Amino acid sequence: MPQFIKSLPPTALIIALGALVGVSFLLSKFVAMAGLAPQMALFWQLAFACLALFVLALVSGQRPPLGWQYLVYYLGAGLLGISGPALIAYAVLGYISTGFYAALVTLSPLFTFAITALVERRMPHVHRLIGILIGLAGISFATLGGFDLSGVAVHWIILAMLGPVLLAMGNVFRSRTYPPNADPMGLAMGTLALQLILIGGIMLFTGQFAQTPIPTSGAFISIAGVGLITAFSYILTFEVQRRTDGVGFAQVGYFATLFGIVFGALVFGEPIGLPLMLSLLVLFLGLMITNGHLSFSRLRQPRKV
């Protein structure tokens, strides 16, 4: 793990992750529009991600740790945080807008909070729930215009909503099973490599490689971009997860939505107005409260004279 990344606070890493995920939403939309089968798109995404991490491994000398504890972690983190959400995104983005799918991701922090409370059988700190709700209110400013869902079948909307559910489950799983003293780069390599082996093995066994046409050049470039983002973002993911819990990490979803809307505006020429600026300010407020940088107890303390 580069030293400059280790020196950054979790808040900065969460914002950077949100930006990367926002870009991946757009690229995934291009892949879905090209008509490529979701499982084939995921295979190439993982292949490019593993290639990038392999190059980094040669430079850094880092290797993914092995053992049953790590293999279970790779499997759970990969299925819940990578393969499941990616397959859903590739499947639904051909039918729903990028903005609507990005907006659904904002449900991930609330789902993470609820799952954490159920698993741990206790309510997390109230200030974290307040911060999450403030963030949810903030992102609503960016989506005040609503989304046109006319003509969209209900089952695509239901399937899309499973995306943030899986992401929330992945947040809780990684938080509770994070291997002690593990390096984030090694965990990222192990997680992505195991998913590539699983997806590739299933496709080879079912003959899908022969049945699926080769991606077009545009789709291939988009998949390569998603793969590179996947590699780097999962290094950041495990670094953030090392320093915070699933509830804190889940706020990546808010910034992913915000950046998804911003990048969508840049690509499709949609105007960026005052609601988006208000959303950004409120998001930062919610993030500071949830991560403990701003507490109500501090605000209530009398000033010393």
Which residues of the chain, if any, have pLDDT below 70? Answer: 1-7, 99, 103, 106, 122-129, 131-132, 135-150, 210-215, 244-251, 253-254, 264-265, 268-305
The per-residue pLDDT for 72 is 92
Exposed / middle / buried, residue 298 (Cβ in 10 Å: 0-12, 13-18, 19+):
exposed
Closest-CA residue to 262 (of 172, 176, 144, 142): 142
Exposed / middle / buried, residue 209 (Cβ in 10 Å: 0-12, 13-18, 19+):
exposed
pTM: 0.73
The backbone torsions φ and ψ at residue 180, rounded to the nearest 5 degrees and listed phi first, read -65, 140
Structural domain boundaries in the chain: 3-294
DSSP class per residue in 204-224: HHHTHHHHSPPPPHHHHHHHH
